[in-house]
């Protein structure tokens, strides 16, 4: 059966929780779908758990901003999980303007034997009640319910691009194009502004914030990236308003590659701390870079994602593809990094062996349990069989969002409105 593709189903964010048991996706229609990994059965120890739908709910609805006469999209820009502290799961989801804290909990028992209500929940006529009894909890089919616990609204004039939970688990930050705000989970009507790069005169605006993230262990440290290809590391202990950075990461420009598109392709679309907290990874249009926090003047590693696009920048500028925001992820041990590309390709780079691979997420090329075949793009000259030429690439099939299980080799890849989950082959 051919599923109808609609705009609303386009996946806009993918995120594993801290144990990897759950995988959340957000889409353009404001929905969140959570997948849960099946428990491995004792009989078949080698059969890896598969992910099945656990919960689906509408997180955000389209809104209309009457002051500006503008529509506010319901598209989920980011989802971030909170570490699990009790039986329930908590996640943050955000659209352009509003962050929400959702509680996802299971219910597998139901009280039966109410005095004042009948079995269908209708109120009983008090005159008919002649006995008193205590309701009893009886098992029921498992039901997963999602409830909004907090709504953090009205704090962003510009579009929210990032949210990040602090390692203190009490606060989190939300970043838009010009400002970053710090929230306490318990307080929704107030937030602290910790970064503000809005110029006094908007006509002087030349740089915006593109992504931000807290350090995984140091609750006072965070980084944010800019459209000029720079990263700033800030320490909240230094001052309340972190307009002065503690560290400034920027690679000197390569004069031989200078063009009118240099700035655009240097704009950082994603920044991620390594799990160790020692490195940060940034994604710009053509590369992924790894930076050591102790070295600000250049990255320690640079990986070419699709350098064959360098000669096509003008076309990509014309069709707006040059503004696509690709994300990047670390694997659990920080030894492999992954990012997406066009034609439903995604790339993995092994930092130790320096080997890289290009894989494709598409229905035609992969059946369940099939092994992914490495792909190759031919840049010129003779095209070998199985290679694809640059001009044949489909630029409407872009993989912007991927996620890596925190400890195992399981990856989730969002290809437009399809979600692919790949696992390591079991011996």
Q: Judged by CB, which is closer to another protein: 126, or 260?
A: 260
Asked if 383 touches another protein (CB under 8 A), the answer is no
210: Cβ–Cβ under 8 A, 6 or more apart, which residues?
Answer: 161, 224, 225, 226, 227, 267, 268, 269, 270, 271, 325
* CA distance linking residue 135 with residue 114, whole number of Å: 5
Residues 342-381 that bind another protein (CB under 8 A): none
Query: Stretches 43-51, 77-85, 162-170, 259-267: which one binds another protein (CB under 8 A)?
Result: 259-267
317 membership: H or E segment, kind and range: helix 313-318
Asked if 168 touches another protein (CB under 8 A), the answer is no
Asked if 389 touches another protein (CB under 8 A), the answer is no
CB of 149 to another protein, least distance (A): 20
How many Cα neighbours within 13 Å face the side chain of 154?
4
* CA distance linking residue 314 with residue 322, whole number of Å: 9
Residues 298-337 that bind another protein (CB under 8 A): 310-321, 323
Q: Judged by CB, which is closer to another protein: 141, or 318?
A: 318
Which of 278, 394, 424, 425: binder of another protein (CB under 8 A)? 394
Q: Give the strand pairing for 387-389 and 376-378.
A: parallel
CB of 99 to another protein, least distance (A): 13
CB of 255 to another protein, least distance (A): 10
Q: How many CB atoms lie within 10 A of CB 295?
A: 11
* CA distance linking residue 12 with residue 30, whole number of Å: 9
Dig out the tokens for 311 from the structure: 């000669």
Asked if 200 touches another protein (CB under 8 A), the answer is yes
Q: Judged by CB, which is closer to another protein: 39, or 64?
A: 64
Q: Judged by CB, which is closer to another protein: 57, or 158?
A: 158
Query: Stretches 130-138, 241-249, 350-358, 399-407: which one binds another protein (CB under 8 A)?
Result: 241-249
Asked if 177 touches another protein (CB under 8 A), the answer is yes
Asked if 210 touches another protein (CB under 8 A), the answer is yes
* Best CA proximity match to 37, nearest among 366, 332, 407, 344: 407
CB of 198 to another protein, least distance (A): 8
Q: Give the strand pairing for 376-378 and 356-360.
A: unpaired
Q: Judged by CB, which is closer to another protein: 196, or 301?
A: 196
* CA distance linking residue 122 with residue 127, whole number of Å: 15
Q: How many CB atoms lie within 10 A of CB 192?
A: 16
Please give the residue ranges that form the binding site for another protein (CB under 8 A). Answer: 67-68, 70-73, 96, 154-159, 177-179, 181, 189-194, 196, 198, 200, 202-208, 210, 227, 239-241, 243-244, 257-264, 267, 310-321, 323, 391, 393-396
């Amino acid at each position: 059966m051919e599923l109808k593709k609609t705009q609303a189903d386009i996946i806009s964010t993918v995120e594993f929780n801290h144990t990897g048991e759950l995988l959340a996706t957000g889409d353009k229609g404001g929905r969140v779908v959570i997948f849960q990994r099946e428990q491995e059965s004792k009989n078949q120890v080698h059969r890896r758990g598969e992910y099945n739908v656990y919960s689906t709910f509408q997180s955000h609805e389209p809104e209309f901003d009457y002051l500006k006469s503008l529509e506010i999209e319901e598209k989920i820009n980011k989802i971030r999980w909170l570490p699990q502290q009790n039986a329930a799961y908590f996640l943050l989801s955000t659209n352009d303007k509003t962050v929400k804290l959702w509680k996802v909990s299971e219910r597998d028992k139901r009280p039966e034997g109410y005095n004042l209500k009948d079995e269908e929940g209708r109120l009983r006529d008090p005159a008919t009640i002649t006995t008193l009894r205590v309701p009893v909890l009886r098992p029921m089919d498992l039901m997963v319910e999602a409830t909004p616990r907090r709504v953090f609204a009205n704090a962003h004039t510009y579009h929210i691009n990032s949210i990040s939970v602090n390692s203190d688990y009490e606060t989190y930050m939300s970043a838009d194009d010009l400002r970053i705000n710090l929230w306490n989970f318990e307080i929704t009507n107030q937030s602290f502004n910790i970064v503000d790069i809005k110029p006094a005169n908007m006509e002087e605006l030349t740089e915006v914030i593109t992504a931000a993230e807290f350090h995984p262990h140091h609750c006072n440290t965070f980084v944010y990236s800019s459209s000029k290809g720079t990263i700033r590391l800030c320490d909240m202990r230094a001052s309340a308003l972190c307009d002065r950075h503690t560290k400034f990461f920027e690679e000197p420009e390569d004069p031989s590659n200078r063009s009118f598109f240099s700035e655009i392709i240097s704009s950082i679309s994603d920044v991620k701390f390594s799990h160790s907290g020692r490195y940060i990874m940034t994604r710009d249009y053509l590369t992924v870079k790894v930076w050591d926090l102790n070295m600000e003047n250049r990255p320690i590693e640079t990986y070419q994602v699709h350098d064959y696009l360098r000669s096509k920048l003008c076309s990509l500028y014309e069709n707006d593809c040059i503004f696509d925001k690709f994300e990047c992820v670390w694997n659990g041990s920080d030894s492999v990094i992954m990012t997406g590309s066009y034609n439903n390709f995604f790339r993995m780079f092994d930092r130790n062996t320096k080997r890289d691979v290009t894989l494709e997420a598409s229905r035609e090329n992969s059946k369940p349990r099939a092994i992914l075949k490495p792909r190759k793009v031919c840049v010129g000259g003779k095209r070998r069989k199985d290679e694809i030429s640059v001009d044949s690439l489909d630029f409407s099939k872009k993989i912007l969002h991927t996620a890596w299980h925190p400890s195992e080799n399981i990856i989730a890849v969002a290809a437009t409105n399809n979600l692919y989950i790949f696992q390591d082959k079991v011996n």
